């Protein structure tokens, strides 16, 4: 039956038992934040002249291979779970991947410049949160219930981005 899982359907990875589909979005968001914070520093070490001076093009290839490996592991450990493949949804995911890759190209080239401080670049490109919130509100009609908090948070993001990028 689609959408229901038994005890044996729980994915085991590194001795942690998790039902990925039902994991709390806040935990997933914190995990992504930690992983993206670490990968940015590693990417800077990889591409910057003061460290390993890897060409941004080669670093991007490494990112693609790493992404492929992570996805292959995910597919392998969740292979017993039902999967749907709607053509339009997959096409949208490919489009999102292209946009992500273009953004990664910009970030990778920026980090390859020795004069680019991670401490200033990351807050600047993380203003993408505002773009996602605006698109969510306008296109997906996901109007936050607590509008005042959302506006205050957006102001903090803008001010923080400006302060840290100077």
Query: pLDDT tier at 38 (50, 70, 90 boundaries)?
Result: very high
Least confident of 60-69, 95-104, 113-122, 155-164: 155-164
- Is residue 19 pLDDT above 80, yes or no? no
pLDDT of residue 21: 57
Counting the structural domains of the chain, the total is 1
Question: Is 144 inside a domain boundary?
Answer: no
59 is a domain residue: yes
Q: What is the pLDDT of residue 10?
A: 42
In which band, very low, low, confident or very high, does the pLDDT at 63 lie, cut at 50, 70 and 90?
Answer: very high
- Residue 22: the pLDDT is 58
Q: Is residue 100 one of the residues assigned to a domain?
A: yes
Segments of 37-110 assigned E as strands: none
Q: Residue 75 falls within a domain, yes or no?
A: yes
Q: Is it the case that residue 14 has pLDDT exceeding 50? A: no
Q: Mean pLDDT across the stretch 107-115?
A: 93
CA distances 38 to 35, 45, 50, 118, Å, are 5, 11, 18, 11
CA distances from 9 to 17, 23, 25, 79, 166 (A): 10, 14, 20, 10, 50
What residues make up the domain containing 105?
Answer: 7-126
């Amino acid at each position: 039956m689609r959408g229901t899982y038994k005890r044996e359907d729980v994915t085991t990875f590194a001795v942690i038992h998790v039902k990925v589909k039902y994991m709390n979005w806040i935990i997933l968001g914190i995990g992504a934040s930690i992983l993206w914070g670490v990968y940015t520093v590693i990417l800077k070490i990889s591409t910057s002249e003061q460290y390993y001076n890897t060409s941004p093009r080669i670093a991007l290839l490494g990112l693609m291979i790493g992404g492929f490996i992570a996805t292959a592991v995910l597919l392998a450990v969740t292979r017993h779970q039902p999967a749907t493949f709607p053509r339009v949804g997959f096409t949208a995911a490919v489009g999102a991947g292209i946009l992500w890759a273009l953004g990664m190209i910009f970030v990778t080239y920026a980090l390859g410049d020795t004069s680019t401080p991670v401490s200033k670049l990351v807050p600047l490109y993380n203003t993408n949160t505002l773009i996602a919130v605006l698109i969510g509100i306008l296109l997906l009609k996901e109007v936050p219930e607590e509008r005042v908090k959302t506006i205050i948070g957006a102001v903090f993001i803008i001010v923080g981005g400006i302060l840290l990028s100077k």
